[in-house]
A and B are shown apart, each in its own frame.
Chain A
Amino acid sequence: MGEVKLRRQPHTGPFSTGLSLLPLLLVSFFLFAMPIVMLVWGAFRNASPGQAANWSFGAFTRAYSTAETWVDFRNSIVLSLSVTIIAVVIGVILAFLVARTTTPLRAIVTPMMGAVVVLPPLFYGISWGMLGQKDVGLLNTTFRSIFHLHSFVLFNANSWAGLIVVSALKGVAFSYILLIGPFGSMDRSLEEASQISGASRLTTLFRVDLMVLAPAIIGATILSIVVGFEFFDVPLILGTPARIKVFSTRIYDMIDQQTPADYGGAGALSMLLVVIVIILVLVQWRILGKRSFTTVTGKTHRTDPWNIGKWRYAGTALIVVYVLLAVILPMFQLLLGSLQSFFGSKGPLSFINYHRLFANADAVQALLNTLLTAVIGGFIAMVVAVLVTYAVARSQSGWRKALDLMGWLPFAVPGIILALAIAWEYISIPGLKNLYGTVWIVMLALVVTAAPMAMRAVQPAIGQLARDLEESARVSGASGMRMMGTVVLPLIAPSFLSGWFLVAILLSGNLTIPILLSTPTSQTVPLLVYNLYTQGQVTQASALFVIELLLLGIGLVLARVIAAVTTRVMKRRSVQQQAKLMAIDTADSQNTEPVAKTAIVQSS
Chain B
Amino acid sequence: MKPVTINGLEKRYSDGTFAVRGIDLTIGEGEFVTLLGPSGCGKTTTLRCLAGLEAPTAGSISFGDQVVVDPAHNIFVPPEKRDISMVFQNYALWPHMTVFANVAYPLKMAKVRKSEIKERVAASLALVNLRERAQQPASQLSGGQQQRVALARAMVGRPSLIFFDEPLSNLDAKLRHTMQEQIRAAHESLGSTTVYVTHDQQEALALSDRIVVMDQGKILQIGTSEELYRQPNSHFVADFLGYQNIMDATVVGVDADSYTVQLNDSDLKITLQGKTGKKAGDSVTVAFRSAHLRFDTMPDEQFTPIDGLITHATYRGRDLLLLLEAQGKTLRATLDEDEMVRVDRSQLTAGSTITLKLLADRVVALPDPDPDDDTAITYESEDM
Contact = CB atoms under 8 A, between A and B. Distances in A.
Contact of A595 (B80, B95, B150, B153): B95
A307 B332 CA distance: 57
A599 B95 contact: yes
Interface string B309-340: 00000000000000000000000000000000
Given A4-B71, A12-B53, A584-B134, A475 B122 contact: no
B79 interface: yes
A9 B55 contact: yes
A466 interface: yes
Interface string A570-604: 11001101110111100011001101000110111
Interface stretch (A133-141, A208-216, A367-375, A479-487): A479-487
A570 B139 CA distance: 14
Contacts of A463: none
Contacts of B80: 474-479, 482
B12 A469 contact: no
Given A4-B71, A11-B78, A476 B106 contact: yes
Interface in B279-293: none
Nearest to A479: B80
A576 to B, nearest CB: 9
B135 A479 contact: no
A274 B76 CA distance: 45
A476 B162 CA distance: 11
Interface residues of A, number: 50
A479 B108 CA distance: 12
Contact of B88 (A9, A10, A471, A491): A471
B189 interface: no
Contacts of B84: 475
A487 B150 CA distance: 16
Interface string A488-513: 00110000000000000000000000
B54 A592 contact: no
B378 interface: no
A260 interface: no
Of B74, B137, B140, most buried by chain A (CB within 10 Å of CB) is: B137
Contact of B100 (A3, A6, A473, A578): A578
Interface in B73-101: 74, 76, 78-80, 82, 84-86, 88-98, 100-101
A10 B71 contact: yes
Given A2-B57, A9-B55, A478-B109, A592 B90 contact: no
A475 to B, nearest CB: 4
A596 to B, nearest CB: 9
B275 interface: no
Contact of A475 (B53, B96, B118): B53
Contact of A582 (B58, B92, B122): B122
A599 B51 CA distance: 27
A578 B102 CA distance: 10
A475 B153 CA distance: 11
B157 A476 contact: yes
B78 A582 contact: no
A361 interface: no
A468 B14 contact: no
A8 interface: yes
Contact of A478 (B97, B105, B135, B136): B105
A579 B135 contact: yes
A359 interface: no
A469 B157 contact: no
A468 B88 contact: yes
Contacts of B85: 475-476
A472 interface: yes
B114 interface: yes
A352 B84 CA distance: 72
A67 interface: no
A1 interface: yes
Of A476, A480, A589, most buried by chain B (CB within 10 Å of CB) is: A476
Contacts of B157: 476-477
A578 B98 contact: yes
Nearest to A476: B106
Nearest to B146: A602
A592 to B, nearest CB: 7
A483 to B, nearest CB: 8
A1 B12 contact: yes
Interface residues of B, number: 55
B329 to A, nearest CB: 44
A565 B233 CA distance: 61
A602 B105 contact: no
B55 A571 contact: no
Contacts of B14: 1-2
A131 B93 CA distance: 57
A491 B51 CA distance: 24
Interface string B123-139: 00000000000111101
B196 interface: no
Interface in B132-165: 134-137, 139-140, 150, 153, 157, 163
A209 B100 CA distance: 49
B90 A603 contact: yes
Contacts of A583: 118
A584 B74 contact: no
A593 B140 CA distance: 10
A578 B139 contact: no
A473 B105 contact: yes
A491 B96 contact: yes
A7 interface: yes
Contact of B101 (A7, A578, A600): A578
Contacts of A9: 55
Given A477-B80, A478-B109, A574-B96, A472 B86 contact: yes
Contacts of A603: 90-92
Interface in B27-76: 51-55, 57-58, 69, 71-72, 74, 76
A563 to B, nearest CB: 14
A575 B135 contact: yes
Contact of A7 (B74, B78, B91, B117): B74
Contact of A6 (B71, B118, B122, B135): B71
Contacts of B51: 471, 475
7 contacts: A4-B71, A471-B86, A476-B109, A589-B135, A602-B93, A603-B92, A604-B90
Given A475-B51, A575-B98, 20 more contacts: A1-B57, A2-B16, A2-B57, A6-B74, A12-B52, A12-B55, A468-B88, A469-B94, A471-B79, A475-B79, A475-B80, A477-B109, A478-B105, A482-B109, A575-B137, A578-B134, A599-B139, A600-B95, A600-B96, A602-B90
Interface of A: 1-4, 6-12, 466, 468-469, 471-480, 482, 486-487, 490-491, 570-571, 574-575, 577-579, 581-584, 588-589, 592-593, 595, 599-600, 602-604
Of all A-B residue pairs in the complex, the 10 with the closest CB atoms, nearest first, are A10-B76, A603-B90, A477-B109, A468-B92, A476-B106, A472-B92, A474-B79, A578-B100, A475-B86, A468-B88
Interface of B: 12-14, 16, 51-55, 57-58, 69, 71-72, 74, 76, 78-80, 82, 84-86, 88-98, 100-101, 104-106, 109-110, 114, 117-118, 122, 134-137, 139-140, 150, 153, 157, 163
